Amino acid sequence: MKLAFSSLAYPDLTLTDVVKRVSKMGYDALELRVADDGRHLRPSYPIREEDGVALRGVEVSDLAAYARFSDNPVENESSMKLIETLADIASALRALGVRVYAGNASDFDALAEALNSAAELAGSHSVKVMVETHGPLLDKVSNLARLLPKLRGVWILYDPANVIFAGGKHEEVFPLIRDKLAHVHVKDYVLRDNNPLYCAPGQGVVPLTSIMDDLKSSGYNGYVSVEWEKMWHPELPDPDSVLPAYRVYLKRWIG
């Protein structure tokens, strides 16, 4: 396994300054957010020369992008255009894959076909499409069980904190996804007023020990990425103090 962190942790830093923290903090790679707001990379190809210079020498685990697929043909057509650009970027950066979302859908066959088409397109660039266990659809165990048999070439980005907050359990989800697992998000939280309050590892409700044990025993050798979401939760503590704590905690398993 390799250890990464998401650039979501540093919404106010330049890409250059974020990249410097990868090796400085002892991480192996950077999970790179790609969005229209330009923090930290815009979804356009070829990437700007200055961005290429900033990323030189750093390992990019994946692109944390915002393509969303559903059973809506219009939404899917727009997302397919985005996937083509993202696949070009990921291939140029030698990243493993592109994170996508599953939006609301009642027709799981249509959703699966859209994701399968995206995976086929990305695969032509030697890039994986990884659908995250996130949102009202795929953080539910029952929906995962319905969708997974319909997928071809689509991988799973597992965020156990999302699943647990939605009422699921790691021990229920992991057997379903272990053979399709390409990337893992790690974060811990406690509940405050029925909302997740992110915290240091091992201090919250996410069973990180069991999760890491299961990843190791299953032979998983991909990225484990710390997702400290200061982009969306500016009240969170400084990642310069939190990310080293996660590194120390997770290195017990990663070595």
| DSSP symbol at 41 | B
255 has pLDDT over 90 = no
Read off the tokens for 220: 């998983």
Q: Do 95 and 65 touch, CB atoms closer than 8 A?
A: no
User: What backbone torsions phi and psi does residue 252 show, to the nearest 5 degrees?
Assistant: -60, -40
Residue 134 backbone class (left: φ over 0; alpha: ψ -120 to 50; beta: rest): beta
Buried b (16+ CB within 10 A) or exposed e, 97-135: bbbbbbbebeebebbbbbbbbbbebbeebebbbbbbbbe
- Determine the pLDDT at residue 177: 97
Read off the tokens for 42: 């815009």
- Determine the pLDDT at residue 14: 97
Quick one: how far is CA 66 from the chain centroid?
Answer: 11
Q: Which CATH number fits domain 2-254: 3.30.479.10, 1.10.3720.10, 3.20.20.150, 3.20.20.330?
A: 3.20.20.150
Residue 217 to residue 63: CA distance in whole angstroms: 27
Q: Give the residue among 157, 154, 249 at the shortest CA–CA distance from 202.
A: 249
Residue type, 31: E
- Determine the pLDDT at residue 31: 98
Determine the average pLDDT of the residues in 167-187: 97
pTM: 0.96
22 has pLDDT over 90 = yes
Confidence at 184, pLDDT banded by 50, 70, 90 = very high
Buried b (16+ CB within 10 A) or exposed e, 203-231: ebebbbeebbebbeeeebebbbbbbbbbb
Residue type, 243: L
Task: Give the whole-number percent of the chain exceeding pLDDT 90.
Answer: 95
Q: What is the 3-state secondary structure (H, E, C) of 125-175?
A: CCCEEEEECCHHHHCCHHHHHHHHHHCCCEEEEECHHHHHHCCCCHHHHHH
- Determine the pLDDT at residue 89: 98
In angstroms, the Cα distances linking 203 to 11, 130, 207 are 25, 28, 10
Domain regions of the chain by residue span: 2-254
Confidence at 72, pLDDT banded by 50, 70, 90 = very high
pLDDT digits (tens, 9 = 90+) for 54-70: 999 999 999 999 999 99
pLDDT digits (tens, 9 = 90+) for 185-222: 999 999 999 899 999 999 999 999 999 999 999 999 99
Q: Do 89 and 34 touch, CB atoms closer than 8 A?
A: yes
Residue type, 217: S
pLDDT digits (tens, 9 = 90+) for 121-167: 999 999 999 999 998 888 889 999 999 999 999 999 999 999 999 99
Residue type, 211: I
Residue 82's SS3 state is helix
Q: What is the mean pLDDT of the chain?
A: 96
Read off the tokens for 37: 């707001």
50 has pLDDT over 90 = yes
Tracing tokens 């299961």 back to the chain, one arrives at 214
